[in-house]
Amino acid sequence: MSMTVQDVLDLPQLFEMQVRAGHQHLHRIVRWFYVAENESISEWISGGEIIFVGVNTIRDEANLLALLDQAQQRDVAAMVILTSPDFIPSIPESVIAKAGALALPLIEQPYRLKMVEVTHIIGTRLVEFSQLKRSAEDVVMQLLQGDFPSLDSIHMRAQQVSLPVFESHVIVVLKCVQPHTVNERDMLAHEKAFFQFKQSAYQLLEQWHKQQQQQFPVTRQSDQFHLVLSLEQLNEEEWQAHLMQLRQQLQDLTHDLQIYIGLSNPVQSAVAFQRGFWEACHAQEVAADLAAEQGVCHYRDLGLLKLLKAIPNKQLLQQFMQDCIGMLIEPERKHPYLLVETLDAWFKENGNVIATSQRLGIHRNTLNQRIQKIEALMGQSLTSAHFRLNAAVALLIWRMTHH
């Protein structure tokens, strides 16, 4: 729903504009435009602009190269250079090559195209895109929350903004999680960095969304983002693989936060969106609770966790865990969870002593001593199927709260 560089180039009145570099990056989101009148542009732009260079100004090759560096640093959408015999006769090859190396769309505009008309055309279209986007975002949030007056009304609104609610989709919830507590002294700096990350993440998600040619807009609530991905194009496994790559791109933007993603089962009607949103939220929470290595969790893969997440009384879960394995926690020791971690490793290796020893990096005799202590403290034998069932569930709860 956001306007891209390609959308600008597709405007009929601007057909004379020609892409000279960065052809593979025309999906960049355009926020506004800026006509450069000073030697430098850094202090006048904030990202997402189309920069127009060469309006009544002679610029040499060195200045154009410097402007490209500034544009790349400020994450502009594209740079447009006006060419004419009086100011910039042609775009130097070095400038074209550098724009390509920076993955920055570089566009040539004949000087005869009047800037007042060009900016009016782009500005008008940006406003139209913005209005359409807001309407579509409102429809998506109503669908996800199940907050609409009737099916007829939401179907009509979805049709007005070209959202295909009757096709098959998967709902995705992506959330930024702070892995540790920030002290009060660093809170202000952290909040500023967090805000900047969310802005950068949103821009990246919108660009990714455009690349994937998805019709539903990206929506967000605080530190949570929502995607609706079409299963007409890719299946669930393919989307999950794409989302793992997307998560890594987002993770590269921050060192202080962790990104976790949850996917729903397919939704194929307006009334199913709320269920899909609920599933995706729970899958995302499990990915975060267990600090999933890949960071992406599908609701269908939750198994027993579906039941545990559906229990509203979390104190009940904690009490069950305490009753089953609480005696293995030794708060007075330097490593209070040593025996719990040992039992957890034993389960993960299906009771294989050699594999468990290797996982923990200890000798088999040391493992056997720990197992004997575990059985003594719990008054149970690991050969008991009933005990193993209870202990496995308790360890699952423990992992969700002590990762």
Closest Cα to residue 207, out of 11, 26, 45?
A: 26
Domain stop point among 251, 286, 308: 308
CATH of the domain at 25: 3.40.1390.20
Amino acid at 175: K
Say yes or no to pLDDT of 342 above 80: yes
Structure confidence at residue 403 as a pLDDT band (50, 70, 90): low
pTM greater than the 0.75 cutoff: yes
Same domain for 14 and 103?
yes
Same domain for 109 and 147?
no
Amino acid 312: pLDDT:
84
Does a structural domain hold residue 121?
A: no
Amino acid 193: pLDDT:
82
Amino acid 265: pLDDT:
96
- End-to-end Cα separation, the chain, in angstroms: 38
Does a structural domain hold residue 43?
A: yes
How much is the average pLDDT of 297-305? Answer: 90
Amino acid 303: pLDDT:
87
Domain stop point among 308, 335, 354: 308
How much is the average pLDDT of 10-38? Answer: 94
Amino acid 177: pLDDT:
83
- Check the CA dihedral 45-46-52-54 and report its sign: positive
Amino acid 184: pLDDT:
63
| Residue 253 in tokens | 């933007």
Helix axes 236-251, 187-211, angle to 10 degrees: 140
Task: Classify burial at 315, counting beta carbons within 10 Å of its beta carbon; exposed 0-12, middle 13-18, buried 19 or more.
Answer: exposed
> What is the per-residue DSSP string for 342-393?
HHHHHHHTTT-HHHHHHHHT--HHHHHHHHHHHHHHHT--TT-HHHHHHHHH
Same domain for 171 and 283?
yes
How much is the average pLDDT of 294-305? Answer: 90
Same domain for 42 and 185?
no
Q: Residues 93, 97, 100, CA angle at the centre, nearest 5°?
A: 140
The residues, ordered by sequence, that sit 6+ positions from 154 with a Cβ below 8 Å of its Cβ are 139, 142, 143, 148, 165, 270
Amino acid 332: pLDDT:
85
Contact 86, 59 (CB under 8 A): no
CATH of the domain at 391: 1.10.10.2840
Domain count, the chain: 3
Structure confidence at residue 158 as a pLDDT band (50, 70, 90): very high
The domain of 16 spans: 5-113
Distances (CA, A) of 44 to 120, 166, 192: 20, 45, 21
CATH of the domain at 152: 3.30.70.270
**Cα–Cα distance between 370 and 11 in angstroms, integer?**
72
pLDDT higher at 194 or 28: 28
| Residue 108 in tokens | 């040539």
Looking at residue 221, the DSSP 8-state letter turns out to be: E
* Strand duo 219-221 + 78-83: pairing: unpaired
Looking at residue 293, the DSSP 8-state letter turns out to be: S
Torsion of CA 211, 215, 216, 222, to 10 degrees: 30
Closest Cα to residue 127, out of 47, 7, 206, 32?
A: 32
Does a structural domain hold residue 91?
A: yes
Same domain for 262 and 189?
yes
pLDDT > 70 fraction of the chain, expressed in percent and rounded: 98
| Model pLDDT for residues 189-203, shown as the tens digit of each residue | 778 888 888 888 998
Please state, rounded to an integer, the average pLDDT across all residues of the chain.
Answer: 91
| Model pLDDT for residues 213-264, shown as the tens digit of each residue | 999 999 999 889 999 999 998 999 999 999 999 999 999 988 778 899 999 9
Amino acid 340: pLDDT:
92
Amino acid 356: pLDDT:
93
Amino acid 181: pLDDT:
63
Amino acid 179: pLDDT:
62
Same domain for 178 and 275?
yes
Same domain for 342 and 304?
no
Amino acid at 396: L
Lowest mean pLDDT among 261-265, 295-299, 376-380: 376-380
Domain stop point among 270, 293, 308: 308
Contact 292, 175 (CB under 8 A): no
| Model pLDDT for residues 85-133, shown as the tens digit of each residue | 999 999 999 999 999 999 999 999 999 999 999 999 999 999 999 999 9
**Cα–Cα distance between 360 and 340 in angstroms, integer?**
12
